[in-house]
Structure 1
Amino acid sequence: MRPLAEFIMRGRMQAALVVVGATALPLLFWLGAAAGALVLLRRGLGDAMGVVAWGLLPALAWWYFGEPRALLVLLGTLALAVVLRATTSWTRVLLASVAVGVLYGVTLDAVFQEPIQALAKELQALLPQVLQGVQELGAEEQARLHSLLVPVLTGLLASLLQAGSLLALALGRWWQAALYNPGGFAREIREMRLPPAPMALLLAGMLLGPNLGVQLAMLTPLCSVPLAFAGAALLHGLVAQGRLARFWLVGLYVSLLIFMQLVYPLLVVLAIVDSLIDFRGRSARNNGAGPANGEG
């Protein structure tokens, strides 16, 4: 995909063409978001807005026809790109993604409330079959469980968009490193690690959110996304150090597609433990290429 990145960086017209074309095509909105992120990371917000403004047209058209993902992912990716360009810290980007995810959730709840409630009712009817212990709960516990369905479902949908925005930003950052500083993106990903304090905040959001309010239940899936990304980064770092074989990465991404419900929580647990222990060690972070932007 490097030739595409080179085409994007040839000029504003080429970049706008990619952003508009990818956003207009079904299921390729993430590519348009990544192209916009590349322009923003390299040239700044001013130049990026001139390009992304054209991409907003097809994104708004998709919104009009009931498809919100193109617009939300485009704007969310750009917001995260601003954070990455200003701080060059993936830790802050991961934390900022939770705020972006909350905005996604609020937007979905406000604009698409009826479809989400209809889906929640269907899930409510299936709960006794999926969770055998539901019928043994008291009336109050069952009512609380049912009241959590809508916010949790909203959070799950928002977390998918949150993860999509992070992946689009990662693609844009990889393009930037490939063009201007080969190896820089790999170094950033291998070093990605959540310090104990941010990890504790995310863990508290996952565990305590539903107890603080029904609507805050959406924080559980949203706070898990940064931890899962940090867990995947841990495996990349261990493979780079030679402490794990490369087939572990292949197995990770294949199993994520097949056994998401099992592998995803494992990545979250790995990130939590790594935050406390630091498996990769501090010395490994003193070597390697410079920042992926190629400017420092």
Structure 2
Amino acid sequence: MRALAEFIMRGRLQATLVVVGAAVLPFMFWLSAAAGSLVLLRRGLSDALGILVWALLPALAWLYFGDPRTLLVMLGSLALAMQLRNQAPWSRVMLYSIGLGLLYTWVLLQVFGGPIAALAGEVQKALPDALSQAYQQLSDEERGQLEALLVPVLTGLLAALLQALTLLSLMLARYWQALLYNPGGFGSEFRTLRFRALPAMLLLLGMLLGPSLDVHLAALTPLCSVPLAFAGLALVHGLVAQKRIQRFWLVGLYVSLVVFMQLVYPLLAVMAVVDSLFDFRGRASRKEGAGSDGEG
């Protein structure tokens, strides 16, 4: 990773090769977005503009062939990188990503409306078997409401995936920047990610009440969960660093996140909400400070 970051920052030609080459390759658009964000974070928009314009060409080509993901993730990560360069904290950047997620939702509906509706139809057919007796106990009106939520929720899930990829691309760029110019800076920066009580509660309400307020707001459930999940990961990283616990537990966390996504992902969001109220990392640091004073 360091060698690639050094190659990107070696000059305009090298950066252009990586940004454009990754954008051309299928499923490598996240790397292009990360490389472009690195140039923007380090050199600013004016110096990086020439490179970024070239990077938009393959993204627009993918859009022409019906795939907007490269363009969305690239522009989204660059927009968030601008905020990060302007000294915005990670908590605010995470909140801004929800706005990007809403934009992604609208674009996905315009481009993939037909396939998403077809997928919702297949899910609708599987609901009686999946929910078993619970589905049979629903009234016709409740079944209609449940079926009406399928398209917004599926679109929101796809948008949330792009939202998470956008944030991961930005994090990779920030990690590269710290690796080259501020070793260890990204780790300490990420471990401080924490939402205050009000934003965390608003995110929680968006997850829980969005579908009941309006069918189209059902997309807020997955979109609002993404910042909370990242804050939950930051909480675990922070506690591991403070308690000097073996990093093996972090490996176990990410393996569990992949294998037991349906269980671990909501747990991370809940942990972030609880941490917004009790500040576990702050309490742990204060206890360590008090313990050190007592020993002295």
TM-score norm. by structure 1 comes to 0.93
Report the residue type matching 1:238 in the other structure.
L
CA–CA separation in structure 2 for the residues paired with 1:110 and 1:48: 31
1:43 maps to 2:43:
yes
Aligned to 2:251: 250
1:261 maps to 2:289:
no
Structure 1 residues 131 and 48: alpha-carbon distance in aligned structure 2, compared to 1, 3 A threshold? farther
The Cα offsets for residues 96-143 of structure 1, whole Å up to 9 and x where unpaired, read as: 010010000011112211111011101111111212211210000000
CA–CA separation in structure 2 for the residues paired with 1:283 and 1:45: 40
Superposed CA RMSD in Å reads: 1.4
Aligned to 1:70: 70
Structure 2 residue ranges without an equivalent (≥5): 287-296
Matches within 5 A, 1:100-115: 100-115=100-115
Aligned to 2:33: 33
CA–CA separation in structure 2 for the residues paired with 1:257 and 1:189: 21
Aligned to 1:275: 276
Matches within 5 A, 1:137-176: 137-176=138-177
CA–CA separation in structure 1 for the residues paired with 2:101 and 2:123: 22
Aligned to 1:119: 119
CA–CA separation in structure 2 for the residues paired with 1:208 and 1:22: 39
Report the residue type matching 2:230 in the other structure.
F
CA contact (8 A) 2:242 2:284 kept: no
The Cα offsets for residues 15-44 of structure 1, whole Å up to 9 and x where unpaired, read as: 111100011111111000000110111111
CA–CA separation in structure 1 for the residues paired with 2:278 and 2:59: 43
What percent identity do the matched residue pairs reach?
67
TM-score norm. by structure 2 comes to 0.93
Matches within 5 A, 1:160-239: 160-239=161-240
What is the count of residue pairs matched by the alignment?
A: 285
Query: Which one has a larger percent helix, Structure 1 or Structure 2?
Result: 2
CA–CA separation in structure 2 for the residues paired with 1:274 and 1:69: 33
CA displacement at 1:228 relative to structure 2: 0.2
Aligned to 1:56: 56
Q: Which has the larger radius of gyration?
A: 2
1:240 maps to 2:241:
yes
CA displacement at 1:283 relative to structure 2: 8.0
Q: Is 23-32 or 276-285 further displaced after alignment? A: 276-285
Structure 1 residues 238 and 97: alpha-carbon distance in aligned structure 2, compared to 1, 3 A threshold? same
